[in-house]
Amino acid sequence: MDHFNYRDGSLHAEEVPLTRIAAEVGTPVYVYSTATLTRHFGLFRQALDWTDHLVCFAVKANSNIAVLKLLGDLGAGMDVVSGGEYARARAAGVPGGRIVFSGVGKTRAEMRQAIEGGIRQFNIESEPEMRALSDLAVSMGVQVPVAIRVNPDVDAKTHEKISTGKSENKFGIPIARAREVYAEAAALPGLKVVGIDVHIGSQLVDLEPFRHAYAKLGDLTRALRADGHQISRLDLGGGLGIPYRRDNNAPPLPIEYGQVIRETVGDLGCEIEIEPGRNIAGNAGVLLAQVVYLKEGEGRDFLIVDAAMNDLLRPSMYGAHHDIVPVTEPAPGAEVSPFDVVGPVCESGDTFQKGTQLSRLAAGDLVAFRSAGAYGAVMASEYNSRPLVPEVLVSGDHFAVIRARPTYEEMLARDTIPGWL
Ligand SMILES: *Cc1c(COP(=O)(O)O)cnc(C)c1O
């Protein structure tokens, strides 16, 4: 459920008509709903209310610091994968003690930044990383809490670019070698082993891969405890999918996901961490755009909108689908016809949908790309020198610009012409 609905024939974010945001901020623009973000975070909490837990929002899904502050104030922890994300989480007021640091290529500078600023745990992805972190911690005179990410070799049955838990993926250490690696970690003076980490992929629409992976984690927990390790936390990653099409079978609910966790690892007495990103932010946002031209082609008509692949990359990167809906509610039974919805960027890949059935739209009409709150703005670029897309947060009947659209002057000011030119 989200808070983007038609009221009086016009699409609203909560109580704010999207037409008002378009008039005041311009298009393209991302619009997020406070009520939806709050609701989705609450569902994960509720799903784990049977145990000690921390829901760490995956910052890479939506890293605007207003969004992070909203979630952080609700009690969320943060899962970060870079020094930049760590800085964002801290700027949003999230204490270091609620931040976990994931990612296969953490640099020493990033590790130092997090140790100095405070960290709940590092999720270690390889032996070289583990040794580097220990060396650094020793040189700083501290011992840092770590979980080791294991690769359980399960097929998440999702898009290959977002599948991370198969043995051929670059993530984590093979689960078969885990006992050996934990033995080395325990002997490294800069590390304090606190748990195990796993993350098998994103946009999972079936609970079985989770069940399979978490059951393996449960077995590993018992084996590591028998080896003498203190395993007090299990970080189960993110990955629960969302409905990208309204007409589709909905993926499992957070409460059902929580039940799988309880059934597989609930008896171990571990604190449970999860790292949902898409499921909290995805359906809490839309990308609002305006039709620039309706171009009649041979055998197909193009709807050319002012948003492009640089603003929303998922369709061209993953072939992903986003429902596109007109902001003015079509009359019941209004005639629809097929359109290719495209952006202005000079690439054929700048296509959002082919042959989508839409009611007749005209230049100047507004459309909303649904389910765009996760992996939307964060992947935006200025390709074709299109200024970085702005973001707006709605709460009830008011809204705020939480990232302004840069002016051309601001965009150009980042470049410098050297004196010798
Ligand atoms: C991307 C990622 C997540 C979040 O995945 P979602 O599908 O957005 O829930 C969580 N943990 C790690 C380590 C990730 O890389």
* DSSP secondary structure, 362-404, as one string: -TT-EEEESS-SSSSGGG---GGGPPPPPEEEEETTEEEEEEP
Q: How far apart are CA 287 and CA 380, in angstroms?
A: 12
* Same domain? 404 vs 355: yes
For the chain, 421 residues long, the average pLDDT of each consecutive 10-residue run is: 94 98 98 98 98 98 98 98 98 98 97 98 97 98 98 85 76 95 98 98 96 98 98 98 85 97 98 98 98 90 97 96 96 91 95 93 97 98 98 98 98 98 97
* Same domain? 234 vs 255: yes
Q: Which of 276, 304, 335 is the last residue of a domain?
A: 276
Q: How far apart are CA 7 and CA 13, in angstroms?
A: 10
Helix (H) / strand (E) containing 85: helix 83-91
Backbone angles phi, psi at 29, to 5 degrees: -155, 140
239 lines ligand 1 (CB under 6 A): yes
Catalytic residue among 187, 346, 417, 421: 346
* Same domain? 246 vs 300: no
Q: Measured in angstroms, how far is the CA atom of residue 204 from the centroid of ligand 1?
A: 11
Report the 10 Å Cβ neighbour count for 38. Answer: 18
Write down the pLDDT at residue 25.
Answer: 98
Q: Measured in angstroms, how far is the CA atom of residue 149 from the centroid of ligand 1?
A: 13
Q: How far apart are CA 154 and CA 158, in angstroms?
A: 11
Answer whether 277's CB lies under 8 Å from 374's CB: yes
**Domain range spanning residue 313?**
4-31+282-412
Residue 382 among known ligand-binding residues? no
276 lines ligand 1 (CB under 6 A): yes
* 46: in domain: no
**Token pair for 113:** 């930044």
* Same domain? 117 vs 253: yes
Q: Which of 276, 311, 330 is the last residue of a domain?
A: 276
Cis peptide before 174 (omega within 30 of 0): no
Q: Measured in angstroms, how far is the CA atom of residue 392 from the centroid of ligand 1?
A: 23
* Same domain? 153 vs 10: no
Q: How far apart are CA 196 and CA 190, in angstroms?
A: 17
* 190: in domain: yes
Which of 74, 40, 72, 45 has the alpha carbon at shortest distance from 243?
40
Q: Which of 276, 293, 317 is the last residue of a domain?
A: 276
| Residue 167: partners with Cβ closer than 8 Å, 6 or more residues away | 151, 153, 174
| Residue 330: partners with Cβ closer than 8 Å, 6 or more residues away | 336, 359
Given the CA of residue 197, which atom of ligand 1 is nearest to it?
13
* Same domain? 193 vs 329: no
* 419: in domain: no
Angle at 44 between CA 261 and CA 390, to 5 degrees: 135
Q: How far apart are CA 141 and CA 309, in angstroms?
A: 47
Overall residue count recorded for the chain in this entry:
421
Q: How far apart are CA 231 and CA 181, in angstroms?
A: 14
Identify the residue whose tokens are 């449970």: 272
* 181: in domain: yes
* 37: in domain: no
Q: Is 56 a catalytic residue?
A: no
* 51: in domain: no
Write down the pLDDT at residue 164.
Answer: 78
Report the 10 Å Cβ neighbour count for 44. Answer: 24
Q: How far apart are CA 147 and CA 308, in angstroms?
A: 40
Q: Measured in angstroms, how far is the CA atom of residue 106 from the centroid of ligand 1?
A: 16
**CATH number of the domain encompassing residue 92:** 3.20.20.10
Answer whether 34's CB lies under 8 Å from 412's CB: no
* Same domain? 288 vs 272: no
Write down the pLDDT at residue 252.
Answer: 96
Write down the pLDDT at residue 165.
Answer: 76
60 lines ligand 1 (CB under 6 A): yes
* 52: in domain: no
* Same domain? 266 vs 295: no
62 lines ligand 1 (CB under 6 A): no
* Same domain? 248 vs 286: no
Write down the pLDDT at residue 360.
Answer: 87
Answer whether 61's CB lies under 8 Å from 282's CB: yes
Please report the sign of the dihedral spanned by the C-alpha atoms of residue 9, residue 11, residue 14, residue 16.
negative
Please state the domain count of the chain: 2
* Same domain? 67 vs 200: yes
Answer whether 104's CB lies under 8 Å from 170's CB: yes
**Token pair for 36:** 């939806």
Answer whether 303's CB lies under 8 Å from 56's CB: no
Question: CA-based Rg of the chain, rounded to a whole angstrom?
Answer: 23
Residue 173 burial (C-beta neighbours within 10 Å; 0-12, 13-18, 19+): buried
40 lines ligand 1 (CB under 6 A): no
Write down the pLDDT at residue 298.
Answer: 83
Strand, coil or helix: what is 278?
helix
**CATH number of the domain encompassing residue 27:** 2.40.37.10
* 42: in domain: no
* Same domain? 79 vs 189: yes
Write down the pLDDT at residue 219.
Answer: 98
Residue 375 among known ligand-binding residues? yes
Amino acid 408 reads Y
* Same domain? 204 vs 228: yes
Q: Give the distance, in angstroms, between the CA of residue 370 and the centroid of all CA atoms in the same chain.
A: 15
Angle at 7 between CA 325 and CA 376, to 5 degrees: 40
